[in-house]
Chain A
């Protein structure tokens, strides 16, 4: 990526090292360091390093296992697409990273290292400091995600003021700059508008401006385009990818739309029932996906190359309730190939195993079988 070598990123990295050295004094960091040495875990070096993350919610009906054993890493300047149906745990994962499930009755285990600092173990005040400054989030529906009673400028400035010691005037000027940067025309006057005076696309641009206000190193976009019409969708995605190149931040793009991640994501993580089904580079996942669920997702995506009359293939059945996740492979009741595993898929949870370099699939089918079936399906489809 050409943008990765830009001056901005260099500056940012220098600053980051200084900050990091300063923070190394904290006892918590030292303790965490000691624990890692004891247990022989590798020092986390990526921007985001998630290890065996579980997020469970006890409810009256039972334990909701919203996230059940996720592990992945994300480097600076790269984009990870998290894909899955509604209720597969995508949004819970992202809120977990932001530390927004510390409150309430969620049970979290595992590690979330943000630039080497464990969010799960950190105290709330520290996570709050990081939230909005080092990591920021763009939400799904910009109309309901913006406060109706405050001006757009006020809401952007608020995010900046909380993490920086600046005057209100400076924060407001910063808000105008950000609105200009995300392509709002007449930013200097629109800054005093209320969210309801903005169009849908402009609201999402304002949300992005708000997320970028403190120059975050990790940006999570949770279905940033679902509430927008198609032409605006493309603009917003372009904007996010432009800004990523400019700021060199790591981006997580959460979506159920494979079309969105196909364009933007370097890596793709397919989630099913709170677990990882497949994880690999965008290229690998699209050209030779290994998991039957991924095949289903790809088959249900409209493509220009397909014959017009041909119907889109849907995945039969519905996603499982996260309270009663099916035993064995959670996908087996909906899988067309479950019969080929000699009953293993009903009893044994498939481990995530490599099928190629950096390409992991949680499926009982052997790598060869996966390749063969996909080749057949792909032939039929195109």
Chain B
């Protein structure tokens, strides 16, 4: 008998293949991001001198500007700059201009000269806020949106359906800076049930963490739940007309089983895809919600970075947001293979 290595499980090969593709995708994303921030302005006529001049005080002397240019590494050709950027992510980077020295430990996504700090630690410290906000809201809107959608589909045309779809329309149309402010005005000022909304880390006090996040969660979830309710309703209406639903009924299954096991299971597949993308997008910063509720998450970080034209910070947060989206896509694809057997083969 010849011993043979056991064939790897198809799902595992699928995941490994996707992971490799993900790494390549991220490299491409970094190239594109780098080009947007360093190549495009140059094509539009910006000089490295002008770029460096921003970092010098009010009345720059040419010598000081040239020194900054060297320190930022703007004096070498762009591909070399990109190479240094990539190297910094893996090995860390030293920024040295003789007078001031700075070390940016790996993963180095650039050094913010405006704040005199490496970008990565600043950025990472705001991630827990955004993650707490996104995950909590996601659970709320997924449970709420899907169940309302299913009930609406099953009671199509009834008062419940019309009412919930009307509310959903409002939810989709109303911007967060409106609903958020209304929520704050009512439940933080008029009736101070949730006064002084501020982020408390989960590890510090889980109860306070949840209490402070309820308003942002509900506000954010309202928008998405409305969207998901409409999507689920449409999906369920379509699925419940499928031939296999008729087969399930012909088997004599109870209506509940027909709806949940046969109908909802199939209707949820497209929801999974959209859910993954939405979560990925939100993890990169729920900008408006964070600003409305003064939560110092990635969205707030992005706004501040753009406001102060801090290129390394903007670049770092763009990369991180891209990573979240690519990663969410990966998770969706793996989930998809698990949910829909037709994808596997």
Contact = CB atoms under 8 A, between A and B. Distances in A.
Contacts of A95: 246
Contact of A148 (B246, B251, B341, B345): B341
B252 A132 contact: yes
A140 B247 CA distance: 11
B249 A100 contact: yes
Interface stretch (A33-41, A69-77, A123-131, A309-317): A123-131
A95 B245 CA distance: 13
A196 B244 contact: no
Interface stretch (A155-163, A240-248, A364-372): A155-163
Contacts of A361: none
A162 B253 contact: yes
Q: From DSSP, what is the main secondary structure of chain B's interface residues?
A: helix
A196 to B, nearest CB: 5
A177 B254 CA distance: 25
Interface in B294-345: 339-342, 345
Contact of B243 (A131, A132, A144, A163): A144
B252 A147 contact: no
A145 B250 CA distance: 11
A130 B251 contact: no
Contacts of A197: 345
B65 to A, nearest CB: 64
Given A145-B244, A147-B262, A147-B266, A98 B341 contact: no
B252 A128 contact: yes
B242 interface: yes
A275 to B, nearest CB: 25
A266 interface: no
Contacts, number: 72
B266 A148 contact: yes
A145 B246 contact: yes
A374 B242 CA distance: 43
A95 B249 CA distance: 10
Contact of A149 (B246, B257, B341): B341
Interface string B86-111: 00000000000000000000000000
Interface in A110-158: 128-133, 136-137, 139-141, 144-149, 151, 158
A128 B106 CA distance: 65
A194 interface: yes
A71 B246 CA distance: 25
A236 interface: no
A338 interface: no
B251 A194 contact: no
B265 interface: yes
